[in-house]
Every structure is written in structure tokens, then in C-alpha cells.
Amino acid sequence: LLAQSKSLLWLNVAGNNIDSEGVENFSKNTTLVTLIASYNLLTDQGATILSHNTHLRELLLSYNQIHDAGAINLSNNTTLTELNLNYNYIGDVGMQALKQSTTLELLHLSREQPPDFTSENVNTTFLLSQDFLCIRNIDGTIEFFNPAFSRTLGYFDDELLGKSFYDFLHPDDYLAEISIDIHQKFPIYYHENRYRCKDGSYRWVRWSSETRYNRVYAVGSDITQQKKIERELIVQEKKIESELIKSKEAERYAEAQTDFIAHLCHEIRNPLSGVVGNVEVIQSHLETLQDFFKSRYTDTPIAEQEKLKNTFNELNECVESMKTCTDYQQGILDDNLDMARINEKKILLENKVFDLKEAAYDVIKMFKAKTEQKKIDLNLKLPEEELIVKGDIARIKKIIINLIGNAIKFTSSGYVNLTIAIQEQTSSHTWFEINVTDTGIGMTEEESSHLFERFAQVGATVGGQYGGSGLGLLIAKNLVQLMGGDIKVSSKKGEGSTFSCIIQCENVTVQEKKRKSEEKILNQVSIIPSIFQPPKKLHVSATEEAFTFKPGKVLIADDNEVNRKATAFGIRKAGYECLFAVDGQDVLDKYNEHKETIGIILMDVIMPKRSGIDATYEIRKLEKEKSLPRVPIIAITGNALETDKKKAYEVGVDDYVIKPFKSQEIINKIAVFLTPPKEREVNLLDSNVI
């Protein structure tokens, strides 16, 4: 019926199993110009029949069984202009006849034989291939497969041949495969699916498929192992992502914990500062009262004298106990804050020139009174050569202080020795070995293995008997490691312990060493070091102009009345006049009113209305706008974090004091900027104090 169409111009019947008799009707069509009949069952007879059509212009008969006879008859057709006879059985005679045709304009010929699945070469390739080679028809029936496919799935040939490949698909892949078959627009396409093995398991296969003549020709490979690796990678990626989320949460928690500890320390430091200040006031007045009554002992009965002596002794003991408690409390605050900084990795090491010998002497002086009180020897052994290097002197002193403090705490008799030696030296760095040895209670091997853990103390009763936060050694270890070293302990129960650590310092230049040596000599010959010398430019916030070295009033800015009184007592006793501000705005008002007479400002950082940071910023701004002399500002705060300190320096403070502080500490800092006046008696109840 198709061949009888009166309007048919172009027809493609390739791959439809049309034989030689089947093309007879097409040969009689009078309108057909182009006929494509490749991949059919045409023989010489079919080619001869088609050669009689006088309307055909283009004829494609590749992949059939046309020999010389059929080719000769086609060459006699006088209307054909294009003929394609590739991959047939045409010999030299047939090819010569076609080439002699006077009407053919395009001729495609090839002697190569069409593929034959039964041929020995092709069959061998199929048998040996490790890839899967499969052919199925359009409805899914499996027509051909190689051994690699059946072997991998575990089936015999008759269990696959003639069956629908859909029966072996994983249920989750079924709809996707049908969708590909229906909507596929490209001749070659790639897809993946899972096939059920005979044992019930599934294997992943990646296919490269081509649809041709109502069949799907596919080459596949087993990617089960690859999919397994992909799944493992996805699981690992999710695990890493989960750990990253946990890490970030832990980081946020650590940051919040640090902020909480910093805030808590600030809240504790403020009242503690008041306690420390008032203890100093009480001690000062006790000394005054003792001097007063001593001058009148001759007029007092002996019984009354003894009573007064006992009273003063008890009061002095109370004062010393309070000082011990405040020092202990401050130590716990410092340890917890240091630990919080370490946990949050907020400790940044400084790199300044310092004398390690000088630092060691300073630490020994700190513990002299305590060792004399406990009647134990404190010895220092240093190398003969100079130990001027670069590093973080504050952190190194902290390490030594923690080690010596720990040794003294657990030593009731005998000695504590500090030894510093050069372990190794290169052109750029020097490694020092610091040993602290004691004759204290010692430890077992089991006890020393837990020594550097958080809150670790030897034995359950040690904390109660000896005190301490249990953080000192852990802080020392972390600081040592931060400096590229390590710390270890050797100990014997009942005999004592030795703590050894290695710290790395940078070598100094000849000029740096010379300057440090000269500075050391000047400090030794000065009667009152640094007070009568021109003041140093202290920090990066300082301007190029030097401070005016003059007497002046001290403006104390603090919203806590107790702290104002305690701070003012020591300062006024040293001979300075004081002004007072209760908040940041009050500071600005007092500054504007008394700027000609204010010599220095002690600025509490956290205050109502306006913070000390804001007030400092406004003062520096006014100085710049109105070309006013720079007034020194010392920040006084319970905030001990480096970030708070950095922020204060950025807005223009010149020094930074952390509460609680001793009166002498603040007086020494004031003396750097102001000419020290004569000391005078101070009445704490003076109304001008607040």
C-alpha cells in the first residue's frame, strides 16, 4: 500500500527485513525519487528489480547481499545520479561497471564485508571483552549478550536470552529507564542502572547505548565498586560536614565561654579591687595607730600595753589574711582567664628584647618572702654569659612563676632550685632549658601522668590541703608549647620533683644587645629609675609629641564609690590632688572644666552613660581638633582579654592596668607622666575623695 502512494518522494525502509521480492512494488512507484533500503535482505535480484525504475534519482542499498550481477544492472539505470552500495559483496567486475556509468554523479562503494556476528574474529572479541555487550529490541527483549554480562550477574544464557531486561532492573530504576526509552532524542546516550544478580544482590552498570533499526545496542561496564566508593565519600563528606558543624558550634561555645569568663572575671575584679584598696587603707591606718600608741606606752599600764599589742597583732594578722585571700582570689581569676585565652587560641606571643637573667632575678624576688616564711631555701643557677634575647618575657616569667609557685606550695622543708641553661644555639635562635627542682612531697608515676590535665592535683585531699586552682601547670605547659617547646616532670614519692621545659627565643643583633646592656646599666645607677627621665612613648596609640612633664591633678573616673575611695587614698597620700568622675559623660564634663590642671586620667573602661573607651575617643578627638596638649590616660578595668586591651590602645589610652591593683603600682605609673609631689597625710573620710 505504501508503494502505491502517488505523492511519495522520499522513503526510508532501512532495517526492516525487506527481501528482493519485497522491493518490487517500490520499483513500480512513479513519484519516488529517493529510496533508502540499507540493512535489509536484498540480493542481486532486488537490485535488478530496482534498476528498472526510471524515476529514482538516489538509491542507498548498503549492508545487503548484492554482488556483481546486481551492481551491473544498477549501472545500466539511466536516471540514477547518486548510488550508495557500501558493504556489499561487489567484486572488481561490478565495481568497474558502476564506475563506467555515464549518469551517476555520486557513487559510494566499499569492498568491506558487513559485520557478521557469527564470524570467528567478531565472536572472539565478544567472548573476551570485559565490558558488557548487549542487544535488545525496542520492547526490552534481550536478543544478544556476551559472557561478561551473564557471568557478572551469575545467570546461565537461557535465563537471560529472550527475557525482558526490565525484569532484572532494580525497582527504583524501572521508571527512569522507561522514561529514557520514550523521550530519548539522541542516537547515543549514557545512563546508569542496577541489575539484579542471581543471588539477589544488585550491581551498578553504566551504559553507552545507541538505538538503531528498532534495536538498542549497548556497551556497559560494572561500576558497583565505584558507586560504593562514591557512597563512602558521601558518608565521609557528611561526617566531615557534621564534624565541621560541631567544631563551629564548639568554637562558638568556647568563644561564649571565654566571654562569660571574661565578664565574670570583670564583675569579680571590681569588688575585689575595692577590697584590695581598703585592705591597704586599713593597713596604713593600723601603722599610724601603732606609731601613735607606741609613743604613749610609757604612760600606759603594762597590762593595757600587752592588751594593745595583742589587739594590733590580731588586726595585723587579719590584714595579712585578707591580703593572702585577695592574692589567692586574683590568682584564680588570672588562671581561669589565661586558660580561657588558651582554649580560644587568643594568646599572641610578643617578640621583644629582654634579659632572661633579669627576668629570673625578678621571679626569685617575688617568692623570697614566701620561702623565708616557710623556712625553705630558694636558689638560682644561671650561666655566666649574657642571656639577652627576643621573646615574650611576660609569658616566660609566667611559666617560671607557675613552676616555682607549684614547687613552693608542695615543699615544707629543704629547697627549691631554679636552673636556666643554654641547651642549643644556632645563628638565629637559642633554646633554653629551665629546670625547677624541689624537695617536696613528690609523686608516683601514676600521679605524674595526670599532672598536666585540667584541674589535676595529686591526690584527693591535695586541693584542700595545699589550695590552688589546679590550672597553673596546665597553663605553663600550653605556654611552653606555644613557644615551640615541651615540658616534662620526673618525680619520686616523698623525695621531690623536677620540672623541665625547653623554650625557644630569637637571637638579637649586636646593636640590640648593646642597647639592652646600656639600659640595664642606667637602671642600676638610677636612684629612682625612670621617674626623672623623659617619659617614653608607650604604645602605638601615642602621638609624636612628648607628654608635658609637669605636676597636675589626677582625674579618677570610676562608677564604683568604694573603688574611687580606695584608689584616691593611696594617690592622695603620695601627694597628688584628685578629681572624680562617676561616668563617661562626667569625665568629659570634668575634662572640659579642668583641662588646664588635669595632669592624668585614670579611666575605668566600663561605666554608665558613656564608657571609658568612648570618653577616651572624644578626648583625643578634642585634642586634635583644638590642638590641645595630650593628657595621659591610663585605662583601669577588670577586663583582661587581649581584645579589650587592643581596643583601648586603638582609641588612645597610654597604659592599661587590670583590677585589682596595689596602690604603689598605680602610683609608679602616674610618676612616669607627672612630677611626683611630696607625700602627705590623707584622711579617707575627706569629702573631696568622692
Establish if 91 belongs to a structural domain: yes
DSSP bridge pairs for 603: 557, 635
Instruction: Answer whether residue 683 shows pLDDT above 50.
Output: no
pLDDT at position 447 is 84
Q: How far is CA 159 from the centre of its chain?
A: 58
Establish if 183 belongs to a structural domain: yes
Task: Tell me the pLDDT band of 632, cut-offs 50, 70 and 90.
Answer: very high
Establish if 498 belongs to a structural domain: yes
pLDDT at position 168 is 93
Residues near 365 by Cβ (< 8 Å), separated by ≥ 6?
none
**What are the tens digits of pLDDT across the range 392-423?**
988 898 899 989 999 998 999 999 999 999 99
Total number of domains in the chain: 5
pLDDT at position 114 is 47
pLDDT at position 255 is 73
Looking at the structure, tell me whether residues 208 and 140 fall in a common domain.
yes
What are the two backbone dihedrals, phi and then psi, of residue 45, each rounded to the nearest 5 degrees?
-60, -45
What DSSP letter does each residue of 615-654 carry, written as one string? HHHHHHHHHHHHTPPPPPEEEEES---HHHHHHHHHHT-S
| CA atoms of 325 and 276, how far apart (whole Å) | 10
User: Could you tell me which of 663, 617, 658 has the C-alpha nearest to residue 638?
Assistant: 658
| CA atoms of 68 and 74, how far apart (whole Å) | 10
Averaged pLDDT for residues 662-673: 86
**What are the tens digits of pLDDT across the range 557-582?**
998 888 888 888 888 888 889 999 99
Which cell numbers in the block locate residue 427? 645563628
Looking at the structure, tell me whether residues 356 and 484 fall in a common domain.
yes
Residues near 607 by Cβ (< 8 Å), separated by ≥ 6?
557, 558, 559, 582, 583, 584, 587, 615
Instruction: Answer whether residue 210 shows pLDDT above 80.
Output: yes
Residues near 229 by Cβ (< 8 Å), separated by ≥ 6?
none
What are the two backbone dihedrals, phi and then psi, of residue 488, each rounded to the nearest 5 degrees?
-145, 165
pLDDT at position 279 is 82
Averaged pLDDT for residues 651-664: 88
How do strand 496-507 and strand 429-438 relate by DSSP bridges? Answer: antiparallel
| CA atoms of 129 and 148, how far apart (whole Å) | 7
DSSP bridge pairs for 662: none
Looking at the structure, tell me whether residues 599 and 459 fall in a common domain.
no
Task: Tell me the pLDDT band of 686, cut-offs 50, 70 and 90.
Answer: very low
Say if CB 30 and CB 4 are below 8 A apart. no
Phi-psi region of 401 (alpha: psi -120 to 50; beta: other; left: phi over 0): alpha
pLDDT at position 221 is 92
User: Could you tell me which of 235, 238, 211, 227 has the C-alpha nearest to residue 170?
Assistant: 227
Averaged pLDDT for residues 618-633: 93
| CA atoms of 451 and 407, how far apart (whole Å) | 13
Establish if 315 belongs to a structural domain: yes
Cis peptide before 660 (omega within 30 of 0): yes
Burial class of residue 126 (count of CB atoms within 10 Å of its CB; 0-12, 13-18, 19+): middle
Instruction: Answer whether residue 102 shows pLDDT above 50.
Output: yes
Share of the chain above pLDDT 70, in %: 83
Which cell numbers in the block locate residue 259? 566571654
Establish if 449 belongs to a structural domain: yes
User: Could you tell me which of 107, 110, 67, 70 has the C-alpha nearest to residue 87?
Assistant: 110
Looking at the structure, tell me whether residues 441 and 401 fall in a common domain.
yes
Looking at the structure, tell me whether residues 621 and 559 fall in a common domain.
yes
CATH number at residue 83: 3.80.10.10
Looking at the structure, tell me whether residues 458 and 586 fall in a common domain.
no
pLDDT at position 503 is 92
Instruction: Answer whether residue 588 shows pLDDT above 90.
Output: yes
**What are the tens digits of pLDDT across the range 493-531?**
999 999 999 999 999 888 877 777 666 665 554 433 333
Instruction: Answer whether residue 685 shows pLDDT above 50.
Output: no
pLDDT at position 316 is 80
CATH number at residue 168: 3.30.450.20
Residues near 221 by Cβ (< 8 Å), separated by ≥ 6?
131, 132, 205, 206
The angle that helices 224-294 and 561-573 make with each other, rounded to 10 degrees, is 50
pLDDT at position 613 is 93
Instruction: Answer whether residue 37 shows pLDDT above 70.
Output: yes
Establish if 482 belongs to a structural domain: yes
Looking at the structure, tell me whether residues 49 and 194 fall in a common domain.
no
CATH number at residue 573: 3.40.50.2300
User: Could you tell me which of 484, 534, 515 has the C-alpha nearest to residue 355?
Assistant: 515
pLDDT at position 502 is 92
Looking at the structure, tell me whether residues 95 and 179 fall in a common domain.
no
Averaged pLDDT for residues 624-637: 92
**What are the tens digits of pLDDT across the range 69-94?**
998 998 888 888 888 888 888 888 88
pLDDT at position 301 is 77
Tell me the average pLDDT of the chain.
81
pLDDT at position 470 is 61
Establish if 233 belongs to a structural domain: no
pLDDT at position 120 is 58
Establish if 499 belongs to a structural domain: yes
**What are the tens digits of pLDDT across the range 142-182?**
988 889 999 999 999 889 999 998 899 999 988 888 777 66
Looking at the structure, tell me whether residues 358 and 482 fall in a common domain.
yes
Which cell numbers in the block locate residue 421? 641553661
Q: Where are the beta strands (DSSP E) in 197-347?
A: 202-212, 215-222
Decide which of 343, 375, 405 is a domain's last residue.
343
Decide which of 175, 203, 222 is a domain's last residue.
222
Instruction: Answer whether residue 541 shows pLDDT above 50.
Output: no
Looking at the structure, tell me whether residues 647 and 665 fall in a common domain.
yes
Looking at the structure, tell me whether residues 487 and 580 fall in a common domain.
no
pLDDT at position 654 is 92
Judged by average pLDDT, the poorest of 15-29, 114-128, 258-272 is 114-128
Looking at the structure, tell me whether residues 557 and 623 fall in a common domain.
yes
The gap between the terminal CA atoms of the chain, to the nearest Å, is 119
Which cell numbers in the block locate residue 223? 561500576
What are the two backbone dihedrals, phi and then psi, of residue 647, each rounded to the nearest 5 degrees?
-60, -40
CB half-sphere exposure, 73, CA atoms < 13 A: 16
104 lies in which domain range?
2-109
**What are the tens digits of pLDDT across the range 611-621?**
999 999 999 99
Burial class of residue 541 (count of CB atoms within 10 Å of its CB; 0-12, 13-18, 19+): middle
Reported for 672-676, long-range contacts at CB under 8 A and 24+ positions apart, including other chains, are 672/530, 672/531, 672/535, 672/536, 673/535, 673/547, 673/549, 673/599, 673/600, 673/632, 674/549, 674/550, 674/551, 674/552, 674/554, 674/576, 674/599, 674/600, 675/549, 675/550, 675/551, 676/531, 676/574, 676/575
| CA atoms of 499 and 118, how far apart (whole Å) | 87
Decide which of 60, 85, 109 is a domain's last residue.
109
CATH number at residue 477: 3.30.565.10
